[in-house]
Amino acid sequence: MSERPDKSPGANKVAVVVKGYPRLSETFIAQEILALEQRGMELQIYSLRHPTDTAVHELNKKITAPVSYLPEYIYQEPKRVLKAWLAVRKLKGYGKARRVWSRDLVRDPSPNRIRRFAQAMVLAAELPDDIKHLYAHFIHTPGSVTRYAAIIKGLPWSVSAHAKDIWTLPTWELTEKLHDCSWAVTCTEANRQYLDTLAPPEKVHRVYHGLDFTRFPETERSEIESNPDSAIVILSVGRAVVKKGYDVLLSALADLPSDVNWKFVHIGGGPLRDKLKILAAEKGISERTDWRGAKSQSEVIAAYREADIFVLASRIASDGDRDGLPNVLMEAQSLGLSCISTTVSAIPELITNERTGLLVPPESSQEMTTALERLCRDPELRKSLGKAGMKNVRSEFKLDKGIGQLIEEFDRAIPESQRG
């Protein structure tokens, strides 16, 4: 990771715009930023929100890029917003940006839309002169701020689209942003195929997040020889939100036969945690559930190593929100942990049913129960699926490959005439 490519990537700084930084649930962004730095790119991070997590990943501590926080709400920093407006209204691109934003506001007359333009003005006003490209993580709100700021400054911009930001954004907004940006990447083939229907040819590229395997060293699991009387540890890592399907998973766990000895561990924050705890109590399985909350990545890795089965009951929410290709599945498999998930979105791009894991239809607690019981009762199957999944992830989902693709896109986006 420390070696530089033949071409000097991004001879000028790239501004990376994110919704919140740092975030425990977004290690894929942190690992990408760190890897780009290690390849020689100089970055500046701009965050739309201040951090809310109390813990910080070791990954984030290694990142050297400076972080600037844009005004989260206009009323909190009105003088800063006014100062930015006075500065950017003189720029050639301001009029065009205001017209683009006004059209967006007519179709989306929300306080959020107003706030994004204010953040974009501050971003444009405070950008250092050596920043020649803007890059947003998530095509919804960060994409809006980045787009408006790029138009104001007359700079190219690009975007990395993931999951919720794709599937909950109106088609008109996705289409216009994809036509306006220099390039877009997305983390799954399913996403790419959908975005391709809205974008100009060759605009959208699939770039798997991949994993930095130095953080997930390969080890041999020894569960076959473990105490047969000990509880099977079933782990899930993810925010307690509708698309993760934790209500379905709890129902499936509650339906396991009484002679199956199991314990469920959940790691993650999220607004539905309290409701899920109540649901677990109603189903009579509270004593078998351990709700640990958000944890650092080192603690998550330790939990992977202690678990016997990893499960993620992903579903499509009523508003269209869904997972892309959850990094936690790749992480679990990279450590040889047998996995159960659903056929939602790009998960089948990672897991081949009966070969590298088990897949069940979303919303089917009955089929989830069947899959859980199979793995609980069959340690040999857990071991074989875990080994196959680990081999697949470590060969097909390497971080280096995706970072190399991003470097090439950044190099193409910044004209030689603008390089320092």
The residues near 406 (Cβ < 8 Å, ≥ 6 apart) are 32, 36, 185, 207
pLDDT reported for residue 229: 72
At 34, the amino acid letter reads: L
pLDDT reported for residue 115: 97
290 and 383 belong to one structural domain: yes
DSSP 207-265: ----B-TTSS------GGGS-TTSPEEEEEES-SSGGG-HHHHHHHHHTS-TT--EEEE
pLDDT reported for residue 12: 66
193 and 283 belong to one structural domain: no
277 and 161 belong to one structural domain: no
The answer as to whether 231 is a domain residue is yes
The total domain count for the chain is: 2
Distance of CA 69 to the CA centre of its chain: 20
Per-residue pLDDT of the chain (420 residues; tens, 9 = 90+): 334 444 444 446 999 999 999 988 888 999 999 999 999 999 999 999 999 877 787 888 999 999 999 999 999 999 999 999 999 999 999 999 999 999 999 999 999 999 999 999 999 999 999 999 999 999 999 999 999 999 999 999 999 999 889 999 999 999 999 999 999 999 999 999 999 999 999 999 999 988 888 888 887 665 444 556 789 999 999 999 999 999 999 999 999 999 999 999 999 999 999 999 999 999 999 999 999 999 988 899 999 999 999 999 999 999 999 998 999 999 999 999 999 999 999 999 999 999 999 999 999 999 999 999 999 999 999 999 999 999 999 999 999 989 999 999 998 876 544 544
156 and 25 belong to one structural domain: yes
The answer as to whether 4 is a domain residue is no
58 and 108 belong to one structural domain: yes
pTM for this entry: 0.82
CATH number at residue 377: 3.40.50.2000
389 and 403 belong to one structural domain: no
104 and 114 belong to one structural domain: yes
pLDDT reported for residue 89: 97
333 and 234 belong to one structural domain: yes
The answer as to whether 7 is a domain residue is no
Domain that holds residue 295: 223-396
The answer as to whether 106 is a domain residue is yes
The answer as to whether 264 is a domain residue is yes
328 and 298 belong to one structural domain: yes
291 and 386 belong to one structural domain: yes
The answer as to whether 24 is a domain residue is yes
